[in-house]
Amino acid sequence: MAGGDPLNQNRPDGADREERLLRITGAIADGVSVDWEAEMKQSPDLRGVLQRLALVERIRNAARASDQG
Amino acid sequence: MHTTSFLLGRMKAGDERAVEVLFERLIPVLRRMARGRIPARARSLMDTEDLVQIVALRTFPHLNHFDSHGKGCLVAYARRIMTNELRDEFRRLSRTPEMTELVDEIPADDVDPLQRAIESEAIAVYRRALAQLTQDEQDLILLSLETGLSHGEVAEAMGRPSANAARMAVARALARLAERMGWPEETP
């Protein structure tokens, strides 16, 4: 998935892909835990981007922990 | 509501009201950033509000020279000043030589050195990817993820019409961030 807009890959399933990705990034923004294993099973085409987002979620959690510390 | 870039432009054109609006927007963000950051040993000498005032006073004189269209962003700039101030405070307290910034390390339950090295590299990748986003996207991510502002607070700080609009903007910025990260290597 190198280069390009992750939300518009000019593919027939682009809208569905966008919807799935924004549902997950929305959950991160909301502070809701994401079941990464389930998401990767459900969306193997998004595996790479999901791995990165899992890291972003951990960074968010670390920031929250630091806030409370 | 106007964007930060617009307000910086107005400020450079001599609009004093723009300075006031920037100040009103930045102070709550600084308060959120400063909360819980002051070293325990320094709390008798400095409280959160002192730190906010110091950072605001050090940030605003430089705004005229701030490149609102460059890679840096106002929030990131203020955050660096706050980090430096806290680092100086640690040094004044003399026991701890250097402060570790908010997300330079992820607290882990059971981390071996290899795992720590991988995560350290991953965070560097995150920071490099963040720097490649637009100023607006960087601000959205810093305010929401790292600073912990609510969607409503992000909307207010970023001039978005509603909390939901801010939430969607953060979600889109995160999608772009993940694309820029390019880590880990894609597997076929």
User: pLDDT tens digits for B63-88?
Assistant: 777 765 544 467 777 877 887 777 67
**pLDDT mean over B103-118:** 58
Other C-beta atoms closer than 10 Å to the C-beta of B138 total 21
**Cα A69 from Cα B44, distance rounded (Å):** 18
Cis omega before residue B184 (within 30°)?
yes
Instruction: Yes or no: say if B86 and B30 are a contact pair by the CB < 8 Å rule.
Output: no
- The rounded mean pLDDT for chain B is 76
Q: ipTM of this predicted complex?
A: 0.81
Q: Which of A5, A47, A63 sits opposite B102 (nearest CB)?
A: A63
Q: Which residue has the higher pLDDT, A28 or B109?
A: A28
Full-model pTM = 0.61
Residue type, B6: F
Please give the pLDDT value at position B184.
57
CA distance A44 to chain B (A): 10
| B122 touches A: beta carbon within 8 Å | yes
Band (pLDDT 50/70/90 cuts) for residue A3 is very low
- Report whether pLDDT(A26) > 90: yes
- Report whether pLDDT(A30) > 50: yes
Q: pLDDT exceeding 90 applies to what percent of chain B? A: 10
Is the CB of A29 less than 8 angstroms away from the CB of B176?
A: no
